A and B are shown apart, each in its own frame.
Chain A
Amino acid sequence: MHSPLHQFEIEKIFNFSIAGVDLPFTNSALYMLLSVLAVALLVFSSGRSIEKPGVIQVFAEKIFGFIQSLVEENIGQTGQKYIPLVFSLFTFILFGNLFGMIPYAYTFTSQIILTFALALVVFVLITLIGFIKHGFHFFSYFLPPGAPIFMAPLLIVIEIISFLSRPISLSIRLFANMMAGHTMLKVFSMFTISLGVFGFSTIIATSVLIGFEFMIAFLQAYVFSVLTCLYLRDVIELH
């Protein structure tokens, strides 16, 4: 029997190298590619027909409407141009989580390097948008309004730490939830064999946990996009 952590091992499917740099195509890359293809399918199937929308088109447009209302609620009307960013982040993470729920599939969102890269994209983007929108006035973000000036050295350091902690908390939240959920599922299903006759109790528990995992898959993609919206609003409005 494999260990509960065996499912997170990265395996090479075939080797591939460009100009002496090794870029092996792994199982993680395969599911990322599948997820990107699913997102592309959503994008290209939306807006096809008005009279007879297919199932995929309705699904894609529902997700788009959901993201649109999310962005409008959290950023406001000025946030319209960030809808593509939030949409692609949400759908990519959602499909990654959901493909991971297929037995024998690989959950690429359980790799911290991937979630950290996604969070870093968001972090670099919000910093750039802050600088482009406000210029050097952006640095006033690090001093809360109405704070006494003699407290400034302490407050600025604290605010910078909390600003830098954003990509880390974003990435760790997604990675930890996915990894913990899948490990827990595996451990519980291993109990089924070792308990023998009483294994049926863990079968019930595992079925409940699988439903719970589906909820987590949606919720974590949603939380990631909500937080992206909140951070964007923070730098757009500057207090």
Chain B
Amino acid sequence: MSDLKQRIKVAQQKPNKVKNDPKTQPSFGFLRISIDLVSSMAVGIGIGFFIDEYFDTKPIAMIVGFFLGSISGFLSIYRLNQQMKKS
């Protein structure tokens, strides 16, 4: 009986331990970096492409969109890095 009580105590303490330890909180930055970069670029290029289609200014908006999308992708990578450093 005392063995069971001790086991219950240990089991009750376990989840609290996990919650308080910041190292066990995963951010999975390494899984997110590549696709975050590519998708930001894709959105930038896509927006530029549709602006080009609409206003008939063929390559200009797409090039601008490419650069803005790249900046936004690198910014999201920088933020992920900061998050990973914290945790």
Q: Could you list which residues of chain A lie within 8 angstroms of chain B, going by C-beta atoms?
A: 65, 69, 72-73, 157-159, 161-162, 164-165, 168-169, 172-173, 176, 219, 222-223, 226-227
User: Could you tell me the distance in whole angstroms from the C-beta of B26 to the nearest C-beta in chain A?
Assistant: 8
Alpha-carbon distance between A116 and B75 when the two chains are bound, in angstroms: 23
Dominant SS among interface residues on chain A: helix
Contact B72 A162 (CB under 8 A): yes
**Chain A proximity mask over B18-57: 1 for CB below 8 Å, otherwise 0:** 1100000111100110011011101110010000000000
- The contact of A158 among B15, B28, B71, by CB within 8 Å, is B71
Dominant SS among interface residues on chain B: helix
Contact B36 A158 (CB under 8 A): no
Contact A158 B35 (CB under 8 A): no
Number of residue pairs A-B, CB distance < 8 angstroms: 62
Excluding A165-B43, A169-B32, A173-B32, 16 further A-B contacts by CB distance (< 8 Å) are: A72-B19, A157-B68, A161-B40, A161-B44, A164-B43, A165-B39, A165-B40, A165-B69, A168-B39, A168-B43, A169-B40, A172-B38, A173-B31, A173-B35, A176-B35, A223-B28
Contact A73 B19 (CB under 8 A): yes
For A169, give the chain B residue with the smallest CB separation: B39
Alpha-carbon distance between A161 and B47 when the two chains are bound, in angstroms: 9
Chain B interface residue count, CB cutoff 8 Å, equals 25
Contact A161 B68 (CB under 8 A): yes
Please list 19 pairs of residues, one from A and one from B, whose beta carbons are closer than 8 Å in the complex, sorted by A's number: A65-B15, A69-B19, A73-B25, A158-B68, A159-B72, A161-B40, A161-B47, A162-B40, A162-B76, A165-B36, A165-B72, A165-B73, A168-B39, A168-B43, A172-B39, A176-B35, A219-B28, A223-B28, A223-B31
Task: Give chain A residues whose Cβ lies under 8 Å from the Cβ of B31.
Answer: 173, 219, 223
Task: Give chain A residues whose Cβ lies under 8 Å from the Cβ of B28.
Answer: 219, 222-223, 226
Alpha-carbon distance between A173 and B71 when the two chains are bound, in angstroms: 20
Task: Give chain A residues whose Cβ lies under 8 Å from the Cβ of B75.
Answer: 158, 162
Task: Give chain B residues whose Cβ lies under 8 Å from the Cβ of A157.
Answer: 68
User: Could you tell me the distance in whole angstroms from the C-beta of B70 to the nearest C-beta in chain A?
Assistant: 10
Task: Give chain B residues whose Cβ lies under 8 Å from the Cβ of A227.
Answer: 32
Most chain A CB within 10 A, of B15, B27, B40, is at: B40
Alpha-carbon distance between A7 and B84 when the two chains are bound, in angstroms: 37
Alpha-carbon distance between A226 and B38 when the two chains are bound, in angstroms: 20
Alpha-carbon distance between A173 and B25 when the two chains are bound, in angstroms: 20
Alpha-carbon distance between A162 and B68 when the two chains are bound, in angstroms: 10
User: Could you tell me the distance in whole angstroms from the C-beta of A51 to the nearest C-beta in chain B?
Assistant: 16
Task: Give chain A residues whose Cβ lies under 8 Å from the Cβ of B42.
Answer: 165, 168
